[in-house]
């Protein structure tokens, strides 16, 4: 096989591998986004069963924030 044909086929293989790699990366990003969305929805659904916990955490955080901002400068 002539050398120029071997070089062109190796360049072609390299380009194909690079394209496949980019496509695989995009596919994995998309898959991770779907999994993250599903996990968030499940967590929100589970937390919706306990609104009193959400309210208690919110109030505790608000109180802590109030203490931090009410400290006298010194």
Instruction: pLDDT tens for the chain, 74 residues: list them.
Output: 455 555 666 777 889 999 999 999 999 999 999 999 999 999 888 877 777 777 777 888 888 777 666 555 55
Does 28 map to a domain? yes
Domain count, the chain: 1
Does 49 map to a domain? yes
Does 31 map to a domain? yes
Instruction: Provide the domain limits for residue 62.
Output: 3-69
53, 47 in Cβ contact below 8 A? yes
pLDDT value, residue 28: 98
pTM (predicted TM-score): 0.49
pLDDT value, residue 49: 75
Does 74 map to a domain? no
Does 14 map to a domain? yes
Kindly state the DSSP code that residue 50 receives in the 8-state scheme.
-
pLDDT value, residue 37: 96
């Amino acid at each position: 096989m002539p050398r120029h044909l071997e070089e062109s086929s190796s360049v072609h293989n390299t380009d194909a591998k690079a394209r496949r790699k980019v496509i695989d990366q995009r596919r994995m990003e998309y898959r991770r986004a779907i999994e993250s969305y599903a996990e968030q929805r499940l967590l929100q659904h589970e937390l919706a069963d306990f609104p009193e916990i959400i309210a208690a955490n919110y109030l505790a955080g608000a109180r802590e924030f109030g203490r931090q901002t009410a400290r006298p400068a010194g």
